[in-house]
Structure 1
């Protein structure tokens, strides 16, 4: 009898202890829960840049971030820096107290492999090999990291994130670095195929008006991959599989602004948790303290400071696209004919890695002090200089957003992928720029004429007025009560609502295990 009472007393004491422990666990989970995200950008500079700045933004909102770059991107970035950051590109942000951890994995190819010259092999490695290295790294992080990893953020163009996230019990957040219009066209490939606008040797040429949230778009304004009749390439395989995988995403974050693409975003939000959180820029729209450049940057500041306000045309075709030698020569001669000042970013591989000097013989002497021709620069540093009055661009999305922020009208020369669709937004929808050429092949005379029109013609006033209005939308979206900040708040709240119950359950189970009593009661 005495033993029974003793057991009851012990049992009640343990129950009270367990209840207090569970309450404490619940309080800690609710108050101190810190989301930990693994972040994997697509290994191209135009994707890495917004990924780095989104990682910093999330870390400033209380996230722990583990950022996974490829060995190749890290090697190029480190080689390009004068002040080498060593093994951690985020070393400069740690002083701010942000918890961003950094590691690298192989993309399946040797670091020294020329990915620019051998593009298809590079894409094939990303399609077939990269995921095995990512899977191994994610598993290692999930098993050992504190705080516990709750989600995987990965570029939408990867074909495997939902599978890896599911394997390790993580929420999958798909990060789309381009406009919502491009996302929805890829997302509705099935409708394009059903209606004969894609995947056929006899593609329809009529305008497309059946995509939800898209009033009308001409086939020529779709992404280059959707204009091609041969859809068997490795890039097409990536597009197909990536957007199948994207349907398994728990959330989609997009580097755009709700007010710029109202109908498109609204239609997407009816189908999925889609959050417009752009524009994603470095803090203060200044050169980032995180190294993301793949080439050494030349400083144009002194040269630009000696030029009149708005007199210089900035020319850059981005970090990835290539220009044919014929087109490049016509552009060069058109720039010379125009008589404007210009800064031209001429990558070593702009035509091809094996084309050493693509400019006409004697070109530098011909343009003289009117031009500064350099292999690479800090684009933000150039665009924010008062001397810049226009931007001849390939229509990469980062370049467009940065140019809008600096109220710099655009001269558009799209080369591949989303750039044709981005051109439509710039020229046809927002009217903040014009085409470099309205017919093919381009000629130096038309190039010169359109440069002069952008820089000093009557149309310039209209471009400046329009870009000021678009810039205001971007600026308003980034205020504390703006749409992008509100959407970021909603995303974080929704993510925590999805992941915290799982964390709480695990913690409660752990508390029960720790407080369980293996003693067997003795009955009378």
Structure 2
């Protein structure tokens, strides 16, 4: 997508050498693209030339959502951001743009597993080059890809594995062999007793594992991706994690005994405001006027993220509970939340009942950081995606946790059991309106809500301190930058 800006390859003042070059490739899902964009911006701000690679499909969704960067630049989402040091490239995922990746999830994942790597290989050979260019380059790729260590070795460049979930999830996947050996995973009848042997992970119940580690069928395409990805992760030169050392100290300490592991989170847009770079794959509704009309700490924000689906029955129970609670609410209803061929899954009359007294509004998508930062918002009913947890904690908003898939079950354990910044709500296939109503009332209006706000306030202070000068995440990022500049010939900190 155009030529690399001249200043991105200009001398950096260290003996006339080229800037170190980072090729950043996020996994092609919304929750992975967002932190990768902001990691790329951080690297550019620290003197790296960056090539950022999206799939054509992700790019099409971002630009068609109306989310082009305001600075112009046509199809380059980084136009006007990154100080001109970020080059934007696209790669095919092997499917036509009109292919419904949500409706045909498994077929799409097969393509990510088998087809995408060849397209990435071709692109990397073009953007990395050879000789001095290759020596100045590092590959920063999402851990869930099945090719980074292999391609990095072929190209002779360092591989930085970018992990967008908490450290505990990385550790559990990294030690799948231990879980299998002890009969807690990859067997017909997994053990149900407490798991106590994973390095750096305190006692964890089987029901708190990621959903893919609770499955008895491990032949699915997602399992095959996970197995391959963590074989590759063992070949990573460095692991960069969107977490905070003070939140997961024992887990991070154990992982550092395995390989260089940098906790640099939370990776959020500058100023916790609307991103300078377009990242949203859906058009964002402007909720500011409605929120401004609501009393302070009176609104329940509801969102189940960008990827996982709920059933119609679960959605109806939650909707009835939200209405029965009497709480004001802002509900983000992603267009394919149940399925892309079921565009109106809410109970009949729900929207009318909410709008009748003006206490509720349903939108397809929104700028979540702006909503969570608004003083009208009192609590967040969430699927426990890691980005959502970090954003909620950063804003000091307690959570009601209804996990749907993958890491979200383990994330709920962190929020509810370890950090006490939220409460659990139901479970997959076992949620009812009465419980939803009671939990909302407790968090929004009860004594429990005050305790939660105090706890999430402590978590908020921890996150803010971590990224401040002298904080653990700031130091971790400084150390990562120094190490990559040493490897890529860009000199040390400056």
Do the two structures share a fold, i.e. TM-score over 0.5?
A: yes
Residues of 1 paired with 2:192 and 2:237: CA distance? 35
Residue 135 in structure 1 maps to residue 135 in structure 2: no
Cα distance, 1:91 vs. partner? 0.3
Q: CA deviation at 1:289?
A: 1.5
May I ask how many residue pairs the two structures share in their alignment?
A: 475
Q: Could you give the per-residue CA deviations for residues 246-277 of structure 1, whole angstroms, max 9, x where no partner exists?
A: 01100000000000000000000011000000
State the partner residue of 1:4. Answer: none
- Of the candidates 68, 79, 95, which is equivalent to residue 64 of structure 2? 79
| Residue aligning to 2:5 | none
Aligned partners of 2:120, 2:67: CA distance in 1, in Å?
Answer: 30
The equivalences for 1:348-387 within 5 A come to: 348-368=335-355, 369-387=358-376
Cα 1:130/1:50, change in 2 over 3 Å: same
Give 1 or 2: higher helix fraction: 1
- The answer to whether residue 470 in structure 2 is matched with residue 470 in structure 1 is no
The two structures, once aligned, show a CA RMSD in angstroms of 1.8
1:161 Cα offset (Å): 0.4
Match of 1:333 among 305, 308, 320: 320
Contact 1:275 1:488 in 2 (8 A): yes
Offset, 1:89: 0.4
Structure 1 Cα separation of the partners of residues 24 and 191 of structure 2? 40
What 5-or-longer segments of structure 2 have no aligned partner?
Answer: 1-10
Name which one, 1 or 2, has greater alpha-carbon Rg. Answer: 1
Instruction: Find the aligned partners of 1:169 and 1:144 in 2 and give their Cα distance.
Output: 9
Residues 60 and 98, structure 1, Cα contact 8 Å, conserved in 2: no
**2:124 paired with 1:114:** no
Which of 230, 240, 245 in structure 1 is aligned with 2:227? 240
3-state SS of 1:264 partner: helix
Structure 2 counterpart of 1:181, from 168, 171, 182 = 168
Shift of 1:142: 1.7
- Answer yes or no: is 1:41 the counterpart of 2:26: yes
Match of 2:190 among 200, 203, 228: 203
8 Å CA contact 1:437, 1:450 repeated in 2: no
What's the secondary structure of 2:87's corresponding residue?
A: strand
Moved over 3 A (4+): 26-33, 82-85, 144-149
CA contact (8 A) 2:55 2:92 kept: yes
Alignment match, 1:67: 52
Find the counterpart in structure 2 of residue 20 from structure 1: none
CA distance in 2, matches of 1:246, 1:27: 31
Map Cα deviations across residues 306-352 of structure 1 (whole Å, 9 max, x no partner): 11111000000001010000000111111110100000000111000
TM-score (norm 2): 0.93
Distance 1:83 1:487, change over 3 A: closer
TM-score, length-normalised on structure 1?
Answer: 0.88
1:442 is aligned to: 431
Find out whether 1:99 has 2:85 as its counterpart: yes
Structure 1: which 5+ runs fail to align? Answer: 1-25, 504-524
Instruction: Decide whether the 8 Å contact of 1:436 with 1:451 is kept in 2.
Output: no
Q: How far apart are the structure 2 equivalents of 1:491 and 1:83?
A: 31
